[in-house]
Every structure is written in C-alpha cells, then in structure tokens.
Amino acid sequence: MDYVRLGNTGLKVSRLCLGCMTYGSPAWRPWVLDEAAAEPFFKAAIEGGINFFDTADMYSNGVSEQVTGKWLREFSRRSDTVIATKVFFPHGPGPNAGGLSRKHIMEAVDRSLKNLGTDYIDLYQIHRFDPATPIEETLEALHDVVKAGKARYIGASSMFAWQFAKMLATSEQHGWTKFVSMQPQYNLVYREEEREMLPLCKDAGVGVIPWSPLARGFLAGGRAKPGEGNTERARTDEFSPRLYYRDADHAVVDAVEAIAKARGVSNTQVALAWVLRNDAITAPIVGASKLHHLSEALAALDLELTDDEVKALEKPYQPKPVLDHS
C-alpha cells in the first residue's frame, strides 16, 4: 500500500479509503450489512494496508459510525487510523436537526464522537453546501471544533466550485481553519468535476477523495436496466437511476468490459485504475458488500492503463447536468 499526503497537510492516508455507508443497519437500507457481517471487511481492509475510513452521521442514522468505531478499535490502534465523518443531513426531526448552523455542527460533532467511540475525528467534513446558513457561521464553528480538539482537519463534499472557492477565501480572510479535502462524485460516467472543481483543488492544494468511483457499482457491469445486478444494492438502489443508465453510460461500461476482458482483470480494477491515474486524486472512496469487492479494489492499485486504453474509456462519455450537489 502506498500512503500519500492529504492535500498540503502532513497527514498520510492510504491510496484507497474504505467507504462505510455499507455498514450499519439494514433497517436504513436493505443492502446495508449489520455489525457482525461488517467485521470481515474492516479486518481485510486493515490487513490490506488501508488506514483511511469514511462514514457520516446520516448513514444508518448513526449506526454506521458505531459499527465503524467498534471494528476499528478491534483491529487497529487509534493512532494508526484516519477516521472521517460528515455533517449536514438531518439527524432526526426538528427545524435544527440538519444543515450547517453553529447549533447543529456543535451538537452533531459530539454525537459523532460518541458514536465512533473516539476522542477526536481526523477529518470532519460538511456533507453538502448549506445555502440557508451564512458561510461565516459555518466556517467559524468548524474552526472552533478543530481548536477544541474534536477534529484534526476539516473537509467538504459535493458543491459547486464557486461555492468552495468562496469558502476557502473566507477562511483565509478570517484566519480560520481551512478545508484540506474535497469529496466530489467522480467516475467514468460522471466527469463534470473535471471542468472546475478538480483544477481548483489542485491549485489550492486540496486533497480529492471522490465518492462513488464505481458509480455505485454501475461500472462493475451486469446492469442493463435499474433493478438488475448481483448485489442487493444493485437491485434495490433507487438513487442510481437518477445519476446513470443513459445510453452513453452503457457505452462507457462496454469500453470498461472490453479492456477488462483483454487484460484478464475485473471491471472494478479498470474503472478504479482510471480514477487513480488522475494526479488530482488522493484516494477514491470504495464501498464493499462482498469481500471480493475489496480485494479487486486493492488489486486496482497495481493496474496501469495505457494511453490508448484511457482514450477508449473516455471516448463514449457525454456531458451531463451537474448532479447531487444538494
């Protein structure tokens, strides 16, 4: 496993991050694995050299954080792991249960610490941009979270580049803690972040840890239409059809399959190798509901695509509207 700096920080993370939305409570989503079923994935990730784990307070309504914390305590030392979680989406009823107000951030970070069973969060991220809250309020609250020792670094997730640039500039202006990472959606069938967000992050020295590098499993193949696939998530995921399944997206999958077959590897390895090839990317966040998903993701680290293969993979792409920034 290679370890790289997260943006301009001194923090070193593995080139893959294990996404922990898959682990928590199946009562939240039918494809989620419970605590016992999640155990071997954390064990295999640690054994594979992964030290970077991403969850959120909304996943399984906090149970994902609990499961993540339990198994990381079991299989690793706290000083050896980099734990990331997120805040924004509502966590219960009430007008202040979500968003990025000072009130919600301060309550949410304490709840996440309790769920994770840790004294600090390595990377505390805003899950989305909150247009209803002044960015100064959000940024000062995050700064105070860091200064209180509850988080080591702060990061952000899907938003428009102008919004992120404004937040970075405001932090600079006030001398507040700056974002060190951005977590956008980025994969072979969603490349809109190449226009502005990825160049902005490279210029600002911000690490990029993309979510859904396999397009929620769509790039793994076997999905001619929604509701098909060899996993419970593929068959029941209501979110994927809003993002993918266009004709051009299927053409991209065909290109992935052709190269995978020629190389004697899986679609997963090819699709992840393409993401990892981009020098703006720090560590893709990979999900795994079967152990071979994790082993294939680890194998992708050793796969180098040729320039001709990259051209073949990128040729079918058709631009699409910006998706899931709210």
Token pair, residue 126, equals 């805003």
pLDDT in tens, 109-133: 999 999 999 999 999 999 999 999 9
pLDDT in tens, 163-191: 999 999 999 999 999 999 999 999 999 99
CATH code at position 141: 3.20.20.100
Domain-located, residue 324: no
Domain-located, residue 163: yes
6-30: average pLDDT: 97
**Mean of the per-residue pLDDT values for the chain?**
94
pLDDT at 325: 75
pLDDT at 174: 98
Domain-located, residue 321: no
Catalytic residue among 23, 59, 186, 190: 59
Examine the pLDDT at 235 and tell me if it is beyond 80: no
Cα 303 to Cα 270: distance, rounded to the nearest angstrom: 7
Please measure the distance between the N-terminal and C-terminal CA atoms of the chain and give it in whole angstroms: 34
Name the DSSP letter for residue 10: S
For residue 291, the enclosing domain spans: 3-314
Cα 170 to Cα 163: distance, rounded to the nearest angstrom: 11
Which residues have a Cβ under 8 Å from the Cβ of 308 and sit 6 or more positions away?
Answer: none
The total number of structural domains in the chain stands at 1
Cα 188 to Cα 300: distance, rounded to the nearest angstrom: 15
Domain-located, residue 319: no
| pLDDT confidence bin for 34, thresholds 50/70/90 | very high
Q: Coil, strand or helix: which one is 55?
A: coil
CA atoms within 13 A on the CB side of 203: 9
Tell me whether residue 59 is one of the annotated catalytic residues: yes
pLDDT in tens, 77-100: 999 999 999 999 998 889 999 999
Domain-located, residue 323: no
Q: Coil, strand or helix: which one is 280?
A: coil
Strands 82-87 and 121-126: parallel
Which residues have a Cβ under 8 Å from the Cβ of 18 and sit 6 or more positions away?
Answer: 41, 42, 45, 50, 52, 53, 54, 285, 286, 287, 288, 294
pLDDT at 244: 80
Domain-located, residue 195: yes
pLDDT at 44: 98
Domain-located, residue 124: yes
pLDDT at 184: 97
Examine the pLDDT at 49 and tell me if it is beyond 80: yes
Domain-located, residue 197: yes
Asked whether 126 and 142 are in contact (CB, 8 A), the reply is yes
